[in-house]
Amino acid sequence: MLQDREVVRLGARQPAPADVRVIAATSVPLEDMVAVDRFREDLLSRLSGAAIAVPALRERPGDILPLARHFLAMYGRRLGPAPCVLASSAMERLLAHPWPGNIRELEHVIQKALLVCRAGRVTGSDLRLASLPPKAPPPALPGASSGVDAWMATLEGAITALFEGDVPNVHERVEEIVIRAAYRRCERNLGHTANRLGVSRDLVRARLLQSGELAAPPTSESPASLSRAGEARAAVRELLAPEP
């Protein structure tokens, strides 16, 4: 629908135009989610027509008072005809607050202040501000460059510990773990696993058979029957061969 702007309704045979505007919002870095296969890259490319980064409210203090006046007017009209105003003490507290809950927290604070203020004037004492610290930025995902470096350093340390412990066949065992993990991550698809690892499909299949992750195909014929079948094919070829 995003690509062709058409949808096929349930039970219909012909597509119908979909004249819509899609607005999507997220609080996580989608590029990092794509890097770890937790978000579809093609969907991100279609949603990224006009991307707008909206900083937290504490990072744009110039919006605090205009938004506060907007909520003041909106909820003030519901409570009574008299307009409400912000006192200087209320403005100072609003500007000093870190706003861990962003705009939604500001809206709730103004809404509650209107219920307790007097004479249509919101003062600093009317504001019920939470004392929670601002939220820390989320940790980097394994798909980010810093996360990849950390994971690779951990992997290198683990392999070094295996060598120092004189573990036999380290390369073969590590390769087996990598292929097995990729195979499970790729929903047990040999072709997809080979593409993700950059190796041949035959190598992936051989390693999975060797580790027991992939079961060997059952042989329906015994060796004796296979030998007899080979002799029969040879006899047929001899009969069909032209005489000298």
More reliable by pLDDT, 63 or 54: 63
Q: What is the pLDDT of residue 236?
A: 47
Exposure string for 30-55, b = 16+ CB within 10 A, e = fewer: bebbbbeeebeeeebeebeeeeeeee
pLDDT category of residue 113 using cuts at 50, 70 and 90: very high
Query: Minimum mean pLDDT among 10-19, 30-39, 141-150, 214-223: which range?
Result: 141-150
Q: What is the mean pLDDT of residues 199-218?
A: 80
Instruction: Give residues with Cβ within 8 angstroms of 47, minimum separation 6.
Output: 2, 22, 24
Task: Please state, for a pLDDT cut of 90, what percent of the chain lies above it.
Answer: 21
User: Mean pLDDT: which of 141-155, 178-192, 225-239 is highest?
Assistant: 178-192
Residues of the chain with CATH 1.10.8.60: 57-126
Q: What is the pLDDT of residues 117-140, one digit of tens each?
A: 888 899 999 999 876 555 555 555
CATH 1.10.10 corresponds to the domain 145-211? yes
Class level of CATH domain 57-126: mainly alpha
Where do runs of H (alpha helix) occur along the chain? 30-35, 41-47, 64-79, 88-96, 102-116, 145-164, 170-185, 190-197, 201-211, 223-240
Query: Minimum mean pLDDT among 43-57, 98-112, 144-158, 222-236: which range?
Result: 222-236
Give yes or no for residue 194 having a pLDDT over 90.
no
Q: What is the pLDDT of residue 104?
A: 92
Q: What is the mean pLDDT of residues 55-84?
A: 88
Query: Minimum mean pLDDT among 24-33, 148-157, 167-176, 228-237: which range?
Result: 228-237
State the chain's mean pLDDT as an integer.
80
Instruction: Give residues with Cβ within 8 angstroms of 8, minimum separation 6.
Output: 14, 15, 16
Residues of the chain with CATH 1.10.10: 145-211
Q: What is the pLDDT of residue 144?
A: 46
